[in-house]
Amino acid sequence: MTTHRVWRLGADIDTDQLAPGAYMKFALDEIARHCLERVRPEFAAAVSPGDVIVAGPNFGIGSSREQAASALVALGLCAVIAPSFSGLYFRNAFNVGLLLLTCPDAEAIQEGEPIAIDLDAGRITRADGAILACEPIPDFLQDMVRAGGLLNLLKRRLADGTLKPNPMRA
């Protein structure tokens, strides 16, 4: 099982902290370079592919900007784990292929701690072997994450014939 390094954040991380408004006119790679700079100035430069964020409640509150989730994907983040998420952020994250795990005990996980995520079982294994349960993730959302987002999933399903083109447009 693969382990992931943890970046700890507090509660109420909003979309403007993830994708600062001052950079919204730029391409995603530029937005990503400024991700979380107000709360963790070193984050964007130091995060590694496969790392995870563990945050307090209300992650992703604020505007509905999709770039707030896309910036984390662009930086290579594997997942965000928190006790709760904004509803709009939750859907935007899965649409761009970012795994969100709703875990009531997320705040027990420490900065830098290596953790393992078992998506199928819906649980996190901490470095000391403790297991934290997460809310179940429906299969269709797991499929989106594995495909790298909704658009990739739809393209794959069109290509393999499991999704038929809209008959109203034929």
Structural domain of residue 129, as residue ranges?
A: 3-136
Q: 20 Cβ partners below 8 Å, 6+ apart?
A: 31, 34, 35, 37, 38
Average the pLDDT over each of 83-92, 104-113, 151-160 and give the range with the smallest value: 151-160
CATH of the domain at 81: 3.20.19.10
Q: Is residue 141 part of a domain?
A: no
Q: Is residue 152 part of a domain?
A: no
Contact indicator for 102, 135 with CB cutoff of 8 Å: yes
- The domain tally of the chain equals 1
Q: Is residue 61 part of a domain?
A: yes
The token pair at 31 is 């937005």
pTM: 0.92
Residue 163: pLDDT band (50, 70, 90) is: confident
Whether 170 has a pLDDT exceeding 60, the answer reads no
Residue 169: pLDDT band (50, 70, 90) is: low
pLDDT at 167: 65
Q: Is residue 161 part of a domain?
A: no
Q: Is residue 145 part of a domain?
A: no
